[in-house]
Structure 1
Amino acid sequence: MSALEIGVAQAKSSFSEIMGRAAYGGQQFIIQRRGKPLAVVIGMAEYEEFLAFRRARRLMRFRRLREAAGDMPEDEALALAQAVAEDVRHQGTA
């Protein structure tokens, strides 16, 4: 099912309906202002799936980092891990 794009005014006037369709019908909504995407409304189950995927991806990155560090001294490995984590946070993909 593809996301339904709606404007802010429609989202405000149909808020209860949108929540029900997202929560119980699995519908996704992209809320737009002046034709630009502003927010997404999804059901809680889909949001929890998203969080689980994000956690798994983060864990995979740190495992690869740990493997790449190999025999690197602990202080260097920690500094590298912190730099990577900060970079990921700035990219908005943490």
Structure 2
Amino acid sequence: MKTPIYLGGREARSQFADLIGRVHYGGETIIVERSGKPMAAVIPIDLYERLVAEREARFAVIDDLRRKAAGIPTEEILSDVSEAIDAIRAGD
């Protein structure tokens, strides 16, 4: 991934058409700032679609875990999680 380009809001607004071309054709990422603070990112659509798909996949895993855990007492889940953390820390 290329290093993002940082632009102030006014500069981004005045160069918007060029900015869109750089993102689409050049694969660049533009960070738009206001008073030196990053406010928004303009990213290639394929990157956006990949990020959205990855997010949806992660939430699907969480939803699946919630369905499988339905009816299991919270205390049992917390105990299992605690045991798993302890095992990982112990290097098992």
TM-score for both structures, normalised by structure 1? 0.69
- Superposed displacement of residue 32, structure 1: 0.3
- Superposed displacement of residue 54, structure 1: 1.2
Q: What is the one-letter code of the residue matched to 2:19?
A: I
- State the alpha-carbon separation in 1 of the partners of residues 56 and 68 from structure 2: 18
Count of residue pairs the alignment pairs up: 71
Q: Which residue of structure 1 aligns with residue 62 of structure 2?
A: 61
1:5-40 deviation digits (Å, cap 9, x = unpaired): 110011011111110111111100110000111111
- Superposed displacement of residue 50, structure 1: 1.2
In structure 2, the residue corresponding to 1:32 is in which secondary structure? strand
- Superposed displacement of residue 46, structure 1: 1.1
In structure 1, runs of 5+ residues without a counterpart are 74-94
Q: Which residue of structure 2 aligns with residue 41 of structure 1?
A: 42
- State the alpha-carbon separation in 2 of the partners of residues 47 and 20 from structure 1: 16
Confirm or deny that 1:10 pairs with 2:11. yes
Moved over 6 A (4+): none
**Rg comparison, structure with higher value:** 2
In structure 2, runs of 5+ residues without a counterpart are 73-92
- Percent identity for Structure 1 against Structure 2: 37
- State the alpha-carbon separation in 2 of the partners of residues 55 and 35 from structure 1: 32
Q: Superposition pairs for residues 70-81 of structure 1, below 5 Å?
A: 72=71
